[in-house]
Structure 1
């Protein structure tokens, strides 16, 4: 599994939306996050299709979260953009039957299934609210006396 630029942009974009109390326009996100606007429009469409953001049309329109940031996990974001997390082709629900029946294939599949489960659990344990909080802490000014 590789986290693509599309997923990175999606995480950064939804963090920008979550950080704002107002509707957030694609143009604003693109500028602040240094993401190509046309590409970002595609990413935001995937986040909308995944039920993570809502689009408000019209003058002054933009994007807002579809639910509270504490209810959106990193896994939700990744899967909205990339689809289900599968470390091996045969670990997808529909692909399971295509794997060979050799005992070595079963062992390898079982090992990677465990790794995949651990990765998915890690992504599930991180919420959008956690990411925004971490960002706010890292960008807060520090004062030295």
Structure 2
């Protein structure tokens, strides 16, 4: 499994907003995250649709996190952009296995499913506050 560039940038965008602790304009987010403005806007639209960020329109508009960084996980951000985490195509619901009639009887499917659950659980356990500087 490889996280797409878009999901990687979405993590960076979310981190910038977490670090700011408030509202930022898209231009500032794009510069701080190292993403083109057009790509940042595409990512911000997806993050807003999923409830990770909220947007404000108008002259004083911008974006901010919709929840505390401690409530936003890497897994949630990745799935917002890339869809459900799946290390193998046989884990997708629409996949039709040509090897066995019933996926539940397949040892490979079972093992990949266990690994996938573990990976997803680990990504969902890591929240954005982990990356913020300590408040001393």
TM-score class normalised by the smaller sequence: 0.7 to 0.9
Does the residue aligned with 2:64 lie in a helix, a strand or coil?
strand
Partner residue in 1 for 2:122: 122
Of the structure 1 ranges 9-18 and 29-38, higher mean CA displacement relative to structure 2 is found in: 29-38
Pairs aligned (count): 132
Partner residue in 2 for 1:90: 90
Task: Kindly state the Cα deviation for residue 90 of structure 1 after the two structures are TM-superposed.
Answer: 2.2
Unaligned runs of 5+ in 2: none
- Give distance in 2, aligned partners of 1:95 and 1:113: 15
Partner residue in 2 for 1:110: 110
Task: Kindly state the Cα deviation for residue 19 of structure 1 after the two structures are TM-superposed.
Answer: 1.2
TM-score by length of 2: 0.88
Residue 101 in structure 1 maps to residue 77 in structure 2: no
What's the RMSD between the two structures over aligned residues? Answer: 1.9
Task: Kindly state the Cα deviation for residue 84 of structure 1 after the two structures are TM-superposed.
Answer: 0.5
Task: Kindly state the Cα deviation for residue 95 of structure 1 after the two structures are TM-superposed.
Answer: 2.8
Task: Kindly state the Cα deviation for residue 15 of structure 1 after the two structures are TM-superposed.
Answer: 0.6
**Mapping 1:50-65, distance limit 5 Å:** 50-65=50-65
| Cα deviation code 1:6-30 (max 9, x no counterpart) | 1111000011111113311110011
Q: Which runs of 4+ in 1 moved over 4 A?
A: 102-105
TM-score by length of 1: 0.83
Of the structure 1 ranges 20-29 and 3-12, higher mean CA displacement relative to structure 2 is found in: 20-29
Of the structure 1 ranges 100-109 and 8-17, higher mean CA displacement relative to structure 2 is found in: 100-109
Does the residue aligned with 1:54 lie in a helix, a strand or coil?
strand
